[in-house]
Chain A
Amino acid sequence: MKTRLIYIILMFVCLLSEGFSENIEQLVNQYNQNNALSNKTIDANRGHLVLFTRDDLESMQAKRLRDVFKSMPFMYYHENRYNLPDPFTSGGYEPYRSSFIRIYIDGVEITQGWAGSGLVIYGDINLDFIDHIEFYYSLPSFENSSESSYMNIFLYTKNSCRDNGSNINLTYGSRGYNSQTFSYADTKDGVSYMFNFAHTDAKRAKIDNGTDTPLNRNFDETLLFGYIKTDKHTFHIQYINKDTHSLTGGSLDATPIKDEIDYETIHLDYSFKFNNYWKMIASYDRMRVDFDLLDDNILMISNQKNKTSFDGYSIHNTYSAELIYKRNFDKYLFTAGLKGRIKKVVKLSRYDMDQKVEMPFDQETLSSAFMQDQYILSDDSLLSAGIEFVHIDRNGGVDDDDFIISRLGYIYTKNLFEYKAYLFKTQFALEPSTRVVLCKGDYKTIKPQSTYGFTQEFAYHMSKKHDLRLLLLYFTDKDSLMNINVNRENREKVNYYMASFDYKYNINLYNKIYFNMYYAKYTNIYGIDELKDHSGYIKIFNKIGRFNVYNEFTYRSNNLDDWKSYIDWTSAVSIDINPRMSLSFKGVNILDKAKASPILRYDVSGGVPKMMSPLMISPIDRQFLISLEYSF
């Protein structure tokens, strides 16, 4: 009787959802919304999602990852003193802080191995080949993570059927900023392929450092991306050459004479589906970094020994492989896998001393095994549990690590209400480059960080128009790597309390408003007793005739700046001139009041270093852009 009733209700719902008559424009738009690629890639079990659909990215005129990353709650776009994307930077002298965030393209992690997470270069990648972006908070499901993280960014590429043909985009902006992209995609005989070229000559605002030579953070980036896909095989190739002026370079008082650091990265990956249950992924990442640094004082780079210049290069490779088994048994969805990763410094060489620098510690090998189960508790609830064992082997007499990572998850969905919770324990090792550069003589015995977390999400969907969500995150780090001195014997415990409220109002298919407000409190982070952060945004999407209009107001404020208010107003307008051509205008940080953060500096001219007033720098330049896009 009960089953029959469910049948009748289901059939009634099916009929009801198809019974309304709509005009052709609504039908086409509804079809596009229901068939968005993001509907096929979202995985509820990966954590708490913040999604940017293709429509969102286009309305926002998002050209680079920073354009969306800058408004994220809690962990948002920021750059370190070397002009690299580094949301967790303290503004101090550490090489890189943000390996807690990992980045994936089409489900395959990009890593910079020795330097840390792939975010180092891909944290501000050109988005021309990207269809949509999924940000997930919390420890991800184990089938996705090779190394520990608590925020994961999944970029999904455009589909060659849906973006068939060629596309050119030309952008010109303030200070001579210019960008050119070209892509071609097609599908033939079951083989999909895409090729993308993007060049960006980013002329950025200079930073006054009190001298006649302001700090420079321009960069010139060339990106090549390609994929070939069939039902069973996928192959990606990516090449990035990024020549940068590195802001402060290695200068302690932020007055570099030469500040050039150039990066060249190659990523290759291949994945193969053996059958419905078995899958393997193998990938290779190579990074070459060329330094040309000069200062009138000793540089803040390891192995310098009173040197004021560094002219040399490093090459490091990362090899990753994983084998995954996934199968449904009755009420269980069981996943297990083996993963391995080798990070190796191939060469570190100095031109100015005509020598190869010997490094006793030049290899780190990670091996891990995991299993995870998702169990259907009832019609509307799902329980997941997973555990992963990780062994990290290091040469050069550096301590090995053994980690146990575990996660318990619960998802409940009933009518318009959703609840999601994760309880987890994870561990992080200090990245090799940071270990060597920051800890110098003590780098062999750095204790790993253990993080315990409990995260919850309450969502309520009031009809199709209103979506409400409350996100509550709590993490606590034992032996936190978010201390200034990571080589101390007993590092402080750091606590994170975060609450975020989202409201989405879909006025109709073309007009919508996103609102977010969050509060975060961190204790002992970077040695600060208490860091409190109140921030939020309003994003307004409008369609007026042939014009798409977008306005975003991001508000940031924290107690370190005595609650000074920062506002980033970004606005974009685009118009489809004809089916092949569109023109757009965009203003970024129009008021020039976007969040600025301190970059520390020391006066070392007198022998004893004296702390100077920090430089307040915003990673978001005030910028006006005009773009022309042509498809054929």
Chain B
Amino acid sequence: MKKVIVIFFISIIHLFASVNEELVNIYENIFSDLFVGQSKINVYVGDKHYQDILYGSEKINIVSDINKASICIASTKQEIEFILKKKKDIAIFCTTQKFIYDYDEIIGAFYWTKGRQQLLFIRSRMDKYYMHLPKDYDNFIIDEL
């Protein structure tokens, strides 16, 4: 019986872990491809939920000082406003679709729409930050909004 419970818990932990790890893996891939050559990318994360998920990532270093960040992750309007107040013209990666139309600093987003997560980058905004992505991302890049 003990064995059944142990296996059950390991499976459950693995299930939840793998869902979060998949998300971490996606963010690690995105930032590694945006900042080629950096072994660990400094990221400011405004959202507590994403802080928890990305904490412990081998490729992402969560920083509390926006000035030390290469890019910021934001989910709400307040977070975006806060980031821009601290540092104008920093690149922001958003987790919500609706704000990408309002702020030119948002270079891309990974957001829920129509029941699934969608990845989107805006080339004209990335160019401003001299950011480029490999060909793998072509399906997710639009020239401008």
Contact = CB atoms under 8 A, between A and B. Distances in A.
Contact of B117 (A17, A25, A28, A55): A28
Interface in A545-598: 546, 578-579
Contact of B142 (A10, A23, A330, A578): A578
A162 B118 contact: no
Contacts of A31: 22-23, 26, 117
Nearest to A30: B22
Interface in B2-21: 2-4, 6-7, 10-11, 14, 17-19, 21
A37 B117 CA distance: 12
A162 B137 contact: no
Interface residue SS majority, chain B: helix
Interface string B129-145: 00000001101101000
A3 interface: yes
Nearest to A378: B4
Interface residues of B, number: 37
A28 B26 contact: yes
B98 interface: yes
Contact of A37 (B26, B114, B115, B119): B115
Nearest to B111: A164
B117 A27 contact: no
B50 to A, nearest CB: 14
Interface residues of A, number: 40
Contacts of B118: 28, 579
B7 A379 contact: yes
B90 to A, nearest CB: 23
B112 A162 contact: yes
A183 to B, nearest CB: 11
B97 interface: yes
A164 B118 CA distance: 13
A251 B69 CA distance: 76
A163 B29 contact: no
- Highest count of chain A CB atoms <10 Å: which of B17, B29, B120: B29
B115 A3 contact: no
B4 A35 contact: no
B23 A17 contact: no
A54 interface: yes
Contacts of A32: 116-117
A580 B26 CA distance: 22
Interface of B: 1-4, 6-7, 10-11, 14, 17-19, 21-23, 25-26, 29-30, 33, 96-98, 112-120, 136-137, 139-140, 142
24 contacts: A3-B2, A6-B6, A10-B7, A10-B14, A14-B18, A23-B136, A24-B119, A27-B22, A28-B117, A30-B22, A31-B26, A34-B18, A55-B116, A131-B115, A161-B112, A162-B116, A164-B113, A165-B113, A167-B114, A331-B1, A578-B142, A579-B120, A631-B113, A631-B114
